[in-house]
Structure 1
Amino acid sequence: MDEIDENRVAKAILAAPGWARVGISAPKESTREAAAQELALTITKMFGERPSAIDPNQLVLAL
């Protein structure tokens, strides 16, 4: 597993839309949830595609 680089995460958070950064502390739960989703989306975009469920170290067996 790759280590998480705090600097890249910080840059990803700062790259997120302003409403999401502010919305994470909103009093309304639905706004906080939408903001958290937007922040997560921005972070995953900056880190590339989500890792596949296939482990590259696992041997592939023919069926």
Structure 2
Amino acid sequence: MSAILLAAPGWARVGLTMPDERMRERAAETLAITIIEKLEGCPEADVNQFTLPL
């Protein structure tokens, strides 16, 4: 997961700390999209792992 977050655009990672609420929301949305896109390309999860809701 950390590799996925580091692959996200830098402005989105920094944007989470901004005082402007709209900027934080846009940054969070961009990070979420990045995570979803990267996870869609991953192989199936191990059946022995717990699933966590996103």
Give the unaligned 5+ runs of structure 2. Answer: 42-54
Aligned residues, how many? 41
Higher relative contact order (CA 8 A, sep 6+): 2
Q: Residue 26 of structure 1 corresponds to which residue in structure 2?
A: 18
Structure 1 regions of 5+ residues with no counterpart?
A: 1-8, 50-63
The CA RMSD measured in Å over matched residues stands at 1.1
Match in the other structure for 1:45: 37
Runs of 4+ in 1 over 3 A off after TM superposition: none
Percent identity, aligned pairs only, is 49
Q: What is the Cα deviation at residue 46 of structure 1?
A: 0.6
CA distances 1:6-46 after superposition (whole Å, capped 9, x unpaired): xxx11110000000000011000000000000000000011
